[in-house]
Structure 1
Amino acid sequence: MKSIAAISALALMLGSAVPVLAQSSHVPEGTKLAANQTFTYWMQDDLKTLDPDLNTSKDGNDVLHQLFEGLYDQDAEGNLVPALATSFDVSDDKMTYTFHLREGAKWSNGDPVTAQDFVYAWQRLADPKTASDYAWYMELMQVQNAHAVIAGEKPVTDLGVKALDDMTLQVQLETPIPYFRQMLVNSSTFPVPQKVVEKFGSDWTKPENMVSNGAYNLKSWKIGESIELVKSDSYWDAANTTLTDLKFVPITDLNQALTRYEAGELDFVQTPAGQYPRLKDEYPDQAFAPPRSCSYSYIFNVGDSGPEALKDVRVRKALSYAIDRDIIVDKILKGGQKPAYSWTHWATAGFTMPETDYSKMTQAERMAKAKELLKEAGYGPDHPLKLRLMYNTSSDHKKLAIAVQQFWKPLGVEVTLENYEWKVYLEKQQQHDFDISRYGWCADYNEPSTYLDVLTSWSDQDVGEWKDPAYDALLKDSKTAADPQADYTKAEQILAEQMPLAPVYHYSLPMLLNSHIKGYPFENVELNWYAKNMYRTAN
């Protein structure tokens, strides 16, 4: 069997040397560990920040899960496991949670991790002065007074979180939600070290200043080149942490990333569009395509800064209907993705995918309807609609944008493609400086509201500025419904009728993983991974 496992020069010299680390509880008895416990991970783009209160990206979440630790982690199947919360109590009305923290947990500077560190971090996230694009997450968690604090109507000290003592954190909710604890896996809920943040300001995440509480510490961050982490000896479970060195390498060109994987420079890479079937045949022990709870779409700017044409629902529907999702999934991507006619990922826990009107049509019927709708709106080959489509730098995003450009051409739609590197792309989205934008969303927790709440009027992520009172009412009602699926179904039907975005496909993660790297959580649909639970076997 052909192998392209990434093997360092040191490993080649040492061969099957005696492991340098003791066998942890994550490593099966009798496993022969490699002498070099390293893991080199591909990222699509460099990160905008390493501040848990400011991060908005999935790659950022992956890095922060190694540097910091919150109340809960997930196991390989996505189930909650205690991290800093060793136990909790909940009131009869399900609105007051009291978390009992782990004794002995420390920051990398030796200070104890306390309940106050969580209070400070959550207040900082909600504070308008922080200007976090994820402040809304406090509202989604239904934390008491979150809306008023974020709006600047109440002081941050009124946020419903407090330290009863160093080891006891209490959270007061406005509405009981059954998935509250699942939301605490997201990095925006992690503690941050107050005295370090206040001393260094925005520079606190630089390697020379950063203090973290996770299984790894920040060693270096070379913008555009790499982020390196090293095992933390102060971490409470350091004895069971086997991997010692992590390296995150941003490479926007997936073909280049694949070449570097094959050269042994990476241990993990996403496969380029269309290449997964070949790679699976060639490297069956390294190629995987697990479901990944993310959805890919094109969002329409219907706000004041958007083009007048997109304010017409007939135009939005026409553009959505004309996208041939089967071609995208079966002919371009070819990596286990599924066509999307609704927004919420099909594998989301507790979700039954609704049947929408256009999902029942053939593509020929959808195209005919698209032409009819666009003609009704006053556009066609004789009166072309001119639009800009924005995407972030990626060979795969470019392929899809070109395909969509071709799908829309028979409608008489002239599309100018605009490609921006990640940070600029995010800034343009937040400033609503686009006509149509590639818009991907990965679940913050495994429940349908993680997708549907994004398009509410209170969401900081609603970059298209679409608002619908009936939709808002459904999402609010779902928070207290005994079975929210009915609300979720109606919400998806509103999205299909109003089309604020055009869902394109539901993700899988076609990937190559070094066959010597063990412990990757393939059964976790969020694909939240923790290097502390992984290890590298000998050759």
Structure 2
Amino acid sequence: MKITRRSLAAATTALVLCFGLVSCGGGGSDPDRARTLHIGNGAEPLSLDPHQASGVWENRIIGDMLQGLTTENAQGLPIPGMATEWSTSPDGLVWTFKLRDAKWSDGQPVTANDFVFAWQRIMTTTPPAKYASILFVVKNAEKIYNGEIKDPNQLGVRAIDDRTLEVTLEHPAPYLPGLLTHYTSFPIPKHVVEKVGKDWIKPENFVGNGPYKLQQWKPNDFVHLVRNTNFYDNANVCIDQAFFYPTADDNAAERKVRAGDLDINTNFSGARLEEINKNLPGYARIHGYTGLTYYIFNMRKDVFKDVRVRAALSMTADRDFITKQILKAGQQPAYSLVPPGINDYQTGAMTVDFKDQNMETRYAQARKLLEEAGYGPNKPLKFTFSFRNTGDNPRVAPVVQQNWAKIAPWVQVEILGGEAQIHYEKLRTGDFELGDAGWISDFNDAKNFSFLFQTSTDQLNYGKYSNAEYDRLMAAADLEKDTLKRANMMKQAEAIVLKEHGFMPMWFLTNRNLVSPRVTGWVDNAVDIHRVRYLCTTDAQKAPAPAKP
């Protein structure tokens, strides 16, 4: 059932009908609308367990319920979280973190053992964690994940005492504080998980160490979070409760923002920007984003094992038309892997070889490549293109379908839209032919993009691209301390995957949000992370603060 809530002007009715507040939200009445936020979150979470999640829509929720050694500030930059300070050994391999005096939402202390337990669990959980590879920088993590080491106690993380955590790495990683803001590194409550297992994430069992705790999750309707009064910085949290709604239809979500039913929606169509600025002045927020939309060839399919086929399809996707005429919100055509804004890396130093060719030249070359690969009227090229049905993706899919049809009448492409979480699950399991994907930086380093095409990346290397020289260069870059030499190694690796057309870079992202002027504390940033703990409302700022328990 689709949940709606009447506008703020009809507050009395809203207490009965609700938008997930009273009869729907399970959290009792909404005594203080001033301290409640309603957030359009794009897609329905597949899981709120940090060891099974993989989407930005899940991160938005999990990051308000749990907190790692480091966290983000309002600007999206890494700052101390559960750790108040840390030090590293001279070789950069051993990091020692001092933990703050913090509690779980049930009052139990957060200890170093909770981190050890969580990090061992993500490497050994069933089904395998989708995002475990981001922690392969930890000593023995990859070998434990792959079953080469059976004893999880061999993982390079140990509790020296309740308030001191030692982490040993496979290689130096100066970007580690940024990486540790990611939910894969968050602690989970050992005392609860050992008791109830996978059910620990259910609202009736949930215990967290973040500013909010899980009150209710009604699938395909909303996730309801309420304030965790045991959070160490609770005194500086303004919002009492937040509701996250799946909003795959940007235009419908825009109408809800306009009606006051949503305070925030985490996307909007660039084609609607002029109209939004007219009808909702001050709501549209656009900012540069360290992210990429790219299309994945499933290398397990015979049709895409031929580099000529991959090259032909990549060169005929009209990125300039798509960004300027369809997206219209500052996105830039992508001809390389690593987006602008990444530290110590020259974006665009390596590009696909057709970048400067006009489209007519590309079409002619693509037809020739496909004919050389054996395709033609007697052997048409047929495949399906799967895309996420969120955001602008449904508008772009028929455009690239038409682009490919211009190569020749015998290029026949079926386009298939799907729910974002289901789509990504199919990418991970290989149940696709050509599929679209997006990647947002988890930490500010080129490796966070380059690792996507390493053989060892497993589930996140959706197309199963594999090249021994690529892997060798990435491994060498991990061991290189000189930032310039390290960047050059990753550029060489990037050149390999681009030359082999291991994927199709499509466009570099902007983050786009609709934010009601009643919301305060919102800071546009390159990672598009806006934790509820930093937000407030104009109403709440005018009203006296509620009594603290």
8 Å Cα contact 1:127-1:149 kept in structure 2: yes
| 1:186 aligned residue | 182
8 Å Cα contact 1:318-1:371 kept in structure 2: yes
CA–CA separation in structure 1 for the residues paired with 2:109 and 2:117: 15
Q: 2:521 aligns with which of 519, 522, 532?
A: 519
**Residue pairs, 1:196-207, within 5 angstroms:** 196-207=192-203
Answering whether residue 394 of structure 2 is matched by residue 398 of structure 1, we say yes
Q: 2:248 aligns with which of 249, 252, 268?
A: 252
Q: 1:208 aligns with which of 204, 207, 214?
A: 204
Answering whether residue 428 of structure 2 is matched by residue 430 of structure 1, we say yes
Q: Which moved more, 1:161-170 or 1:500-509?
A: 500-509
Pick 1 or 2: higher relative contact order, CA cutoff 8 A, min separation 6: 1
Number of aligned residue pairs: give it.
Answer: 508
**Residue pairs, 1:284-299, within 5 angstroms:** 284-299=281-296
| 1:19 aligned residue | none
Q: Which moved more, 1:405-414 or 1:417-426?
A: 417-426
Quote the offset at 1:194 in angstroms.
1.4
TM-score, structure 2 as length reference: 0.89
CA–CA separation in structure 2 for the residues paired with 1:108 and 1:9: 34
Q: 1:222 aligns with which of 202, 218, 228?
A: 218
Seen in structure 2, the aligned counterparts of structure 1 residues 442 and 535 have a Cα distance that, compared at 3 Å, is same
| 2:128 aligned residue | 131
SS at match of 1:411: coil
Q: 2:139 aligns with which of 140, 144, 147?
A: 144
- Residue type matched to 1:424 in 2? I
- Residue type matched to 2:473 in 1? L
| 1:387 aligned residue | 383
CA RMSD of aligned residues (A): 2.0
- Residue type matched to 1:476 in 2? A
**Residue pairs, 1:265-304, within 5 angstroms:** 265-269=261-265, 270-303=267-300
Cα-to-partner distance string for 1:417-462 (whole Å, 9 max, x where unaligned): 1222234323322221111011111111111111110110000211
- Residue type matched to 1:116 in 2? N
8 Å Cα contact 1:11-1:35 kept in structure 2: no
CA–CA separation in structure 1 for the residues paired with 2:50 and 2:62: 7
SS at match of 2:34: coil
8 Å Cα contact 1:43-1:248 kept in structure 2: yes
8 Å Cα contact 2:299-2:463 kept in structure 1: yes
8 Å Cα contact 2:350-2:494 kept in structure 1: no
Unaligned residue ranges in structure 1 (runs of 5+): 1-5, 14-33
Q: 2:321 aligns with which of 317, 327, 334?
A: 327
Seen in structure 2, the aligned counterparts of structure 1 residues 8 and 469 have a Cα distance that, compared at 3 Å, is farther
Answering whether residue 328 of structure 2 is matched by residue 337 of structure 1, we say no
Seen in structure 2, the aligned counterparts of structure 1 residues 45 and 35 have a Cα distance that, compared at 3 Å, is closer
SS at match of 1:275: helix
CA–CA separation in structure 2 for the residues paired with 1:377 and 1:471: 25
CA–CA separation in structure 2 for the residues paired with 1:382 and 1:329: 35
Identity %: 33
- Residue type matched to 2:516 in 1? N
CA–CA separation in structure 1 for the residues paired with 2:92 and 2:122: 24
CA–CA separation in structure 1 for the residues paired with 2:175 and 2:518: 35
Answering whether residue 464 of structure 2 is matched by residue 471 of structure 1, we say no
8 Å Cα contact 1:293-1:347 kept in structure 2: yes
8 Å Cα contact 1:218-1:228 kept in structure 2: yes
SS at match of 2:60: helix
TM-score, structure 1 as length reference: 0.90
**Residue pairs, 1:101-120, within 5 angstroms:** 101-103=99-101, 105-120=102-117
CA–CA separation in structure 2 for the residues paired with 1:11 and 1:336: 41
Quote the offset at 1:12 in angstroms.
12
Unaligned residue ranges in structure 2 (runs of 5+): 1-6, 15-31, 543-549
Q: Which moved more, 1:400-409 or 1:125-134?
A: 125-134
**Residue pairs, 1:440-451, within 5 angstroms:** 440-451=438-449
8 Å Cα contact 1:128-1:151 kept in structure 2: no
CA–CA separation in structure 1 for the residues paired with 2:288 and 2:303: 36
Q: Which moved more, 1:415-424 or 1:181-190?
A: 415-424
8 Å Cα contact 2:363-2:406 kept in structure 1: no
